[in-house]
Amino acid sequence: MTVKQLSVFVENRAGRLSAVTRLLGDNNLSIKAMSIADTKDFGILRLIMNDSEKALDVLKENGCSVTITNVLAIKIQNKPGGLADAMEVLYKGNVSVEYMYAAFIKEDEGTAFLILRVDNNDLAVKTLTENGYSLVGQEELLNI
Amino acid sequence: MGRYWNESIECMSREEMKKLQDERLVAQVKHVYENVAYYKKLMDEKGVTPDDIKGTEDLHKLPFLTKADLREAYPYGLLAKPLSDCVRIQSTSGTTGKRVVAFYTQHDIDLWEDCCARAIVAAGGTKDDVCQVCYGYGLFTGGPGLNGGSHKVGCLTLPMSSGNTERQIQFMRDLESTILCCTPSYAAYIGETLHEMGYGPDDIKLKAGIFGAEPWTEEMRHEIEKLLGIKAYDIYGLTETSGPGVSFECSEQTGMHINEDHFIAEIIDPDTGEVLPEGSKGELVFTSITKEAFPLLRYRTRDICILSREKCSCGRTLIKMTKPMGRSDDMLIIKGVNVFPSQIESVLLKVSKATPNYQIIVDRVNNADTFEIRVELSEDMFSDTIKSIEDLEKKISEDIHNILGIKAKIRLVEPKSIPRSEGKAVRVIDKRKLV
Ligand SMILES: [Zn+2]
């Protein structure tokens, strides 16, 4: 139960971020979650899209370096300590988190979604589901 | 049609070839002395007359011609035939200073195209082939030269010129091109685009490529061969001597056979001008012994290479030259160190599996040289973490330092962000010269 994350290499120069996001928008693609990791010269724009296949094609056609990573999208309680609880479950399950970020999606006021990149997807899925967390798959992303 | 375009010349014995060269050289020196005042003056100053030149052993007595002479004599100073006998000009892009304009009689065009035909046949070409020429047409010699050679061989010729890569691939697929002629960087670009379009080598009928007009490495050859599923052959030439086809590669792929019946090659010490023995590395010098309109004698190419008469498995007896190892006028002096772009290319091709396009940017800030190399980050060099990209930068930087002894700032840039002109990547931007 993973979702496809697109990572795009972007140089740190004026207008690049705007060009990439505009490109996605013009192609009627919707960003479900995103984060940017950056250094002085370049950044990696990480995206969860409603239609990752189409987004990949659009980005490649426009000459972007893109790579796909399978990441987890989990639902947590939108309340103080909700994130800490999930982290604790993963820590106890021996899963280490490489990075994570919040998604724009939510079903209702009580829930929030997190995107997680972990060292072992299978182990993380097992640990989380055993502890009552639900994960979102690629198809469900389209409907939220 | 056999393995050679002109077997009696390409496989001629050394003795016969020497005799042919001697006769042609003697006549050519006389022709130039009588018709080119500029060169007569150089010979007079050196105290050499046509009578002193009895054969190739006397070649060293003749004065050199350099690019500076071409500039000084521009446009008609080295012309050896009346303009009314000339039918064509070709010209260099003129990126460094004044452009070179070369003149051709119909005889000159014929011999040039004949040289290109030899190259096409050496790459396996026959009249049944479909030859797609994506060198630039026009003033640049690449397109017209290979186009003419392809006609001579009898290939179906596709005069595509460079650019519009998707259309190139469409023609390549629809008309089942079997031979591709272009610059190696454009060949790599066509290969990349082919794969981006979702095709692979099995979706095209190409079997061979003839690539020249810019430096490329063995690594790049393997990359292109893999991308397009072909055998890639090198071709060499320069506008000053006619264009591509001065030398060409055979199936052995270990250097290019020089068309010695038209061009005599020498290797000299670039500092002293002294002729070096076979097998020495030095500057390549060409003497045109058959061209009528623009016959340059002892023209210094600035290309550094090695000549070899070792027996070749293809059966040709024509002397072989290595791929140029650098150009003395491409050479950059950065922080006091001699830097050839080819050295940087070899480093880049070692640290990445892909075909990285790169650009060297040199500037002077507060009286110190700055040295930056921009490298296009291709898909297979890219991974999701900052650390892996920084590691890649570090590795390139360390390898450059090891090879050159100076440090460069490595900057990874987005694919296709480095400008290309006529399919040729712009390799060096030296801002120090712009001041
Ligand atoms: Zn050979």
Based on the domain organization, do A61 and A81 belong to the same domain?
Answer: no
Q: Pick the last residue of a domain from A69, A103, A124.
A: A69
Q: Pick the last residue of a domain from A53, A69, A85.
A: A69
Residue A139 CB neighbour total at 10 angstroms: 8
Q: Which own/partner contact pairs does B306-310 have at CB distance under 8 Å and 24+ positions apart?
A: B306/B267, B306/B279, B306/B280, B306/B281, B306/B282, B307/B258, B307/B265, B307/B267, B307/B278, B307/B279, B308/B255, B308/B278, B308/B279, B309/B14, B309/B278
Residue B72 CB neighbour total at 10 angstroms: 12
Residue A41 with chain B: CB contacts under 8 Å: 411-412
Give the Cα-Cα-Cα angle A36, A40, A42 (nearest 5 degrees). Answer: 50
In this structure, are residues B58 and B320 in contact, taking their beta carbons and an 8 Å threshold? no
Here the tokens at position B59 are: 């070649």
Strand ranges in B172-242 using DSSP code E only, listed in sequence order: 179-182, 208-212, 231-238
Which CATH number characterizes residue A78's domain?
Answer: 3.30.2130.10
Q: How far is the CA of B250 from the centre of ligand 1 (A)?
A: 5
Query: Cα(B172)–Cα(B204) distance, rounded to whole angstroms?
Result: 7
The CA distance from B299 to the nearest CA of chain A, in Å, is: 43
Tokens 């930056």 map to which residue? Answer: B372
Query: Cα(A22)–Cα(B422) distance, rounded to whole angstroms?
Result: 30
Of A7, A38, A60, the CB nearest to B196: A60
pLDDT at B355 over 60: no
B190: three-class secondary structure by DSSP = helix
The CA–CA distances, whole Å, from B77 to B74, B100, B151, B296 equal 6, 12, 32, 12
The CA distance from A63 to the nearest CA of chain B, in Å, is: 6
Phi, psi (deg, nearest 5) at residue A56:
-60, -45
A36 in contact with B at a CB cutoff of 8 Å? no
pLDDT digits (tens, 9 = 90+) for B61-92: 999 999 889 989 999 999 999 999 999 999 98
Residue B386 with chain A: CB contacts under 8 Å: 37-39, 44
Contact B389 A44 (CB under 8 A): yes
Query: Cα(B193)–Cα(B173) distance, rounded to whole angstroms?
Result: 13
Range of the domain at A31: 3-69
Here the tokens at position B99 are: 């452009």
Based on the domain organization, do A86 and A137 belong to the same domain?
Answer: yes
The domain ranges of chain B are 7-328, 333-430
Q: How confident is the model at residue B94 (pLDDT cuts 50, 70, 90)?
A: low
Distance from chain centroid for Cα B196: 28
B379 in contact with A at a CB cutoff of 8 Å? yes
Q: How confident is the model at residue B398 (pLDDT cuts 50, 70, 90)?
A: very high
Contact A39 B386 (CB under 8 A): yes
In this prediction, residue B305 carries a pLDDT of: 92
Based on the domain organization, do A102 and A133 belong to the same domain?
Answer: yes
Based on the domain organization, do A100 and A51 belong to the same domain?
Answer: no
Q: Pick the last residue of a domain from A39, A69, A99.
A: A69
Please, what's the b/e burial string for B387-403 (b: 16 or more CB within 10 A of its CB; e: otherwise)?
eebeebbeebbebbeee
B4: three-class secondary structure by DSSP = coil
Based on the domain organization, do A60 and A78 belong to the same domain?
Answer: no
Pick from B142, B148, B113: nearest CA to B6 = B113
**For residue B372, what is the enclosing H or E element?**
strand B368-376
User: How far separated are the first and last CA of chain A, in Å rounded?
Assistant: 16
Based on the domain organization, do A87 and A57 belong to the same domain?
Answer: no
Based on the domain organization, do A127 and A97 belong to the same domain?
Answer: yes
Query: Cα(B46)–Cα(B60) distance, rounded to whole angstroms?
Result: 12
Q: How far is the CA of B115 from the centre of ligand 1 (A)?
A: 15
Query: Cα(A110)–Cα(A91) distance, rounded to whole angstroms?
Result: 24
Strand ranges in B59-166 using DSSP code E only, listed in sequence order: 88-91, 101-104, 130-133, 156-159
CA-nearest residue to B409 within chain A is: A41
pLDDT digits (tens, 9 = 90+) for B121-145: 999 999 999 999 999 999 999 999 9
Tokens 């001629």 map to which residue? Answer: B12
**For residue B114, what is the enclosing H or E element?**
helix B106-122
Residue A38 with chain B: CB contacts under 8 Å: 386
A41 in contact with B at a CB cutoff of 8 Å? yes
Q: How far is the CA of B309 from the centre of ligand 1 (A)?
A: 10
A46 in contact with B at a CB cutoff of 8 Å? yes
Fold classification of B333-430 is GMP Synthetase; Chain A, domain 3 (3.30.300)
Query: Cα(B72)–Cα(B234) distance, rounded to whole angstroms?
Result: 32
The CA–CA distances, whole Å, from B339 to B33, B283, B428 equal 39, 16, 11
State the amino acid at position B425 in one-letter form.
A
Contact B415 A46 (CB under 8 A): no
pLDDT digits (tens, 9 = 90+) for B176-202: 999 999 999 899 999 999 999 999 999
In this structure, are residues B183 and B145 in contact, taking their beta carbons and an 8 Å threshold? no
Please confirm whether the linkage preceding B75 is cis (ω < 30° from 0).
yes
Residue B368 CB neighbour total at 10 angstroms: 9
Q: How confident is the model at residue B435 (pLDDT cuts 50, 70, 90)?
A: very low
CA-nearest residue to A11 within chain B is: B413
Here the tokens at position A113 are: 């979604």
Per-residue pLDDT of chain A (144 residues; tens, 9 = 90+): 899 999 999 988 888 889 999 999 999 999 999 999 988 889 999 999 989 999 999 999 888 889 999 999 999 988 899 899 999 999 999 999 999 999 887 777 788 899 999 999 999 999 999 999 999 888 877 676
Q: How far is the CA of B131 from the centre of ligand 1 (A)?
A: 22
Please, what's the b/e burial string for B136-151 (b: 16 or more CB within 10 A of its CB; e: otherwise)?
bbebbbbbbbbbbbbb
Distance from chain centroid for Cα B194: 25
pLDDT digits (tens, 9 = 90+) for B367-380: 788 999 999 988 77
Architecture of domain B7-328: 3-Layer(aba) Sandwich (3.40)
Of A37, A67, A117, the CB nearest to B382: A67
B386 in contact with A at a CB cutoff of 8 Å? yes
Contact B384 A63 (CB under 8 A): no
Q: How far is the CA of B218 from the centre of ligand 1 (A)?
A: 17
Based on the domain organization, do A75 and A129 belong to the same domain?
Answer: yes
Q: What is the number of structural domains in chain A?
A: 2
Contact B383 A67 (CB under 8 A): yes
pLDDT digits (tens, 9 = 90+) for B4-15: 999 999 999 999
Here the tokens at position B342 are: 């080819």
The conformational region for residue B313 under phi > 0 = left, psi -120 to 50 = alpha, else beta, is: alpha
In this prediction, residue B1 carries a pLDDT of: 46
Query: Cα(B298)–Cα(B62) distance, rounded to whole angstroms?
Result: 7
CA-nearest residue to B411 within chain A is: A41
Total-model pTM: 0.65
Residue A137 CB neighbour total at 10 angstroms: 11
In this structure, are residues B401 and B407 in contact, taking their beta carbons and an 8 Å threshold? yes
Q: How confident is the model at residue B342 (pLDDT cuts 50, 70, 90)?
A: confident
